[in-house]
Amino acid sequence: MRTVVSILMLSGALMACTSEAEKITFDGQFYRTDLDDLDERHKFQVTASPVSASLLGAKEAARYEATVFCVNEYGSSAIDWVIGPDDADETLPIANDTLTLQGACPL
């Protein structure tokens, strides 16, 4: 029984180290990102937070998440942004410390 518990604890510790090592920082911060499909699979909405840590970092974290999606699903890093990270900062939709961008992977 001790062996099983020890193995489980060691596995948990290793998993925690691995996931931390795989995190990417943007502008020196970690961001929570989420990408959802819209009406069609190639169209998406991506969010990044907390914007209060750095708007630049949140924009780049959202861009990264969208790029990973397009590369994995469509084999290209190209993105047609509807509301994108290169838009003027004052026009970007930010609510509850969360940046929301929209785009599509070209078919």
| Sign of torsion over alpha carbons 22, 100, 39, 76 | negative
Query: Which residues are registered as beta bridge partners of 26?
Result: 29
Q: Which residue has the higher pLDDT, 99 or 18?
A: 99
CA angle centred on 48, ends 43 and 53, rounded to 5° = 160
CA distances from 27 to 1, 7, 58, 68, 95 (A): 46, 37, 8, 19, 20
pLDDT of residue 33: 97
- Mind listing the pLDDT tens digit for each residue in 73-92? 999 999 999 999 999 999 99
- Mind listing the pLDDT tens digit for each residue in 11-65? 555 444 445 556 899 999 999 999 999 889 899 999 999 999 999 999 999 999 9
pLDDT of residue 3: 54
Query: Which residues are registered as beta bridge partners of 33?
Result: 48
Helix, strand, coil share of the chain (percent; to 5) = 45, 25, 30
